[in-house]
Structure 1
Amino acid sequence: MVTATPLLDASQLMHDMQAYWWPFCRLLALFSMAPLFNHKAVSIRIRVLLALAITAALTHVLPVPPDINPLSLKGIFTSIEQILFGVLLGLMLQLVFIIFMLVGEVISTQMGMSMARYNDPTNGVSSSSIVYQLYFILLVFLFFSIDGHLLTVSVIYQSFLYWPVGGGLHYLGIEGFLRGIAWMFAASVLISLPIVFCMALVQFCFGLLNRISPAMNLFSLGFPITILVGLLCIYLTLPNMPQSYLHLTRELLDTIGRILQEGNRV
């Protein structure tokens, strides 16, 4: 018996694709900001493929999204809302890496190694200091050792449970992000404070030596000693880096969990 049901219904296909479109927007925005996923070594094609693969895997376990036409004005604003959700979560996950970036910049400046970016015509185009690049390599290993990529997927899954599609961006989420920025600066100061104190003490000693014997060429002597003392301080503090990273990551995940739960109560 021949039925009148069409083989391909464009309206029904658009309705079925809504369940995939909203998670895809949030995931792609998160991968554009999340640590390691936003690295220049990960191309845009890889990010899009990752977002498509995870969207296909998570869509069937996510809450059913509201019936919104993606091409309508409300659908456009909902897409922008999902992008903002993804950017906010990605920036929150990026805070731990930014902490060590600030630590690397401060230490590199105290050691005098930040001038290499301006004096070296070959490698001076790098936007990050050599100390942070050392920290970044170690952070990559620590990130994968604690299954950070799986934690990122878990965070995006929890975000759909507490911040469903069409739920709106709450003030508590933005307030929590601003508090996270303040926490980031405080943590970077606490981590870099011992090394900065040691470097300031070395420079103070060279200042006294300059007052005692002005004839000495302290520039040729001070820079190598400062760099050696800085490298020694990094060597002494580097074994505590995994513990600091785990502690900061736990605090960050607790903060994200509180932001999601508070946003759900609104």
Structure 2
Amino acid sequence: MSEPVLHASQYLTSLQAYWWPFCRIVALLSMAPLFNHKAVSVRVRILLALALTVALGAALPDMPQIDPLSLKGLMTALEQIAFGVLLGLTLQLVFTIFMLVGEVVSTQMGMSMARYNDPVNGVSSSSIIYQLYFILLVLLFFAIDGHLVTISVLYQSFLFWPVGSGLHYLGAQSFVQAFAWVLAAAVLVTLPVVFCLTLVQFCFGLLNRISPAMNLFSLGFPISILMGLLCIYLTLPNLPDSYLHLTRELLNGIGVILREGGDV
């Protein structure tokens, strides 16, 4: 009578080695770029997390023997969820940069009113220029095997920050500094387009002072839109290089966060 109970306890103990990675993986997929898209349903995301957990489970370090139903087990699960969210948000930063670029360029062009539903943010809306950048970023993401890079980062996170090691201040500090890097990168990417459009608007302001009778609303808006489209056309060939450079900087930042967590 005791033998089946003994086997059941052994199975539950072995399943703990997959429970902690599953918590981190499903949290990362909820925040990582493209995986968190509304087109990817929650069921698909959970099934993908289960598949990754089974595939990576044998290669991960040994998991600590913690009772999942205890207070320590609950805190460990929350720790894995927090670390997965931290990694997912960090991987999302490059897409956030170009989201800011699209919003700023749309505002300068006067196209901020031309918006439609964004499936990423649900009921919110995003500019058409950002949707253009988003489609190109999706193609570039799969062209550079971004999904495989995400899995590699996930695997490395278990080596540098194993289960039960806890979150550290240095990693959180590096993540906060990454937000400042996002704003700086967005400014650098949008600076040429914003400068050209500001120059166009400045010229129309001078024309309004010279000839107040000129209807600038019927002339200025089309010229601003045409100049904005021309600037996007001229800067679009540099988008792959900018994306690769920002992605490389992002991965270096993630490496710093992981190494800092492993050294503590």
TM-score (norm 1): 0.94
Q: What residue in structure 2 maps to residue 13 of structure 1? A: 11
| Alpha-carbon offset, residue 9 of structure 1 | 3.5
Alpha-carbon shift at residue 26 of structure 1 (Å): 0.3
- C-alpha distance in structure 1 between counterparts of 2:38 and 2:82, whole Å: 21
Please report how far the alpha carbon of residue 8 of structure 1 lies from its aligned counterpart in structure 2 after TM superposition. 6.9
User: SS state of the match for residue 36, structure 2?
Assistant: coil
SS at 1:128 equivalent: strand
Q: Tell me the secondary structure at the aligned position of residue 65 of structure 2.
A: coil
Deviation at residue 10 of structure 1 after TM alignment = 3.2
Query: Where in structure 2 are the equivalents of 1:255-266 lying within 5 Å?
Result: 255-266=253-264
| Offset at residue 259 of structure 1 (A) | 1.0
Aligned counterpart, 1:223: 221
> Residue 212 of structure 1 corresponds to which residue in structure 2?
210
Q: Aligned-pair distance for 1:4?
A: 6.2
Structure 1 SS opposite 2:165: coil
Alignment of 1:94-133 (within 5 A): 94-117=92-115, 127-133=125-131
- Which secondary structure does the structure 2 equivalent of 1:113 belong to? coil
1:195 aligns with 193
Alpha-carbon distance in structure 1 between the residues aligned to 2:247 and 2:110: 30
How far off its partner does 1:127 sit? 1.9
Alignment counterpart, residue 64 of structure 2, candidates 56, 63, 66 = 66
* Structure 2: gaps spanning 5 or more residues: 117-122
Residue by residue, what CA displacement relative to the aligned partner does 1:18-65 show, whole Å, maximum 9, x if unpaired? 011001000000000000000111110110010000000000000001
**Structure 1: distance between partners of 2:228 and 2:259:** 43
Alignment of 1:1-266 (within 5 A): 5-6=3-4, 9-117=7-115, 127-266=125-264
Q: Retained in 2: the 8 A contact 1:58–1:157?
A: yes
Amino acid at match of 1:45: R
Which 5+ residue runs of structure 1 have no aligned equivalent? 119-124
**By how many angstroms is 1:7 displaced?**
7.2
1:12 Cα deviation after fit: 2.0
Distance in 1, matches of 2:114 and 2:53, equals: 43
Cα deviation, 1:120-175, whole Å, max 9, x if unaligned, reads xxxxx652110000000000000000000000000000000000000000001100
1:117–1:126 contact (8 Å) kept in structure 2: no
1:262 deviation in Å?
1.3
Whole-angstrom CA distance in 2 between matches of 1:183 and 1:133:
22
Deviation track 1:174-211 (CA, whole Å, cap 9, x = no partner) reads: 00101110000000000000000000000000000000
Cα displacement string for residues 87-109 of structure 1 (whole angstroms, at most 9, x for unaligned residues) = 00000000000000000000000
Q: TM-score, normalised by structure 2?
A: 0.95
Secondary structure of the 2:125 match is coil
Q: Which residue does the alignment assign to 2:120?
A: none
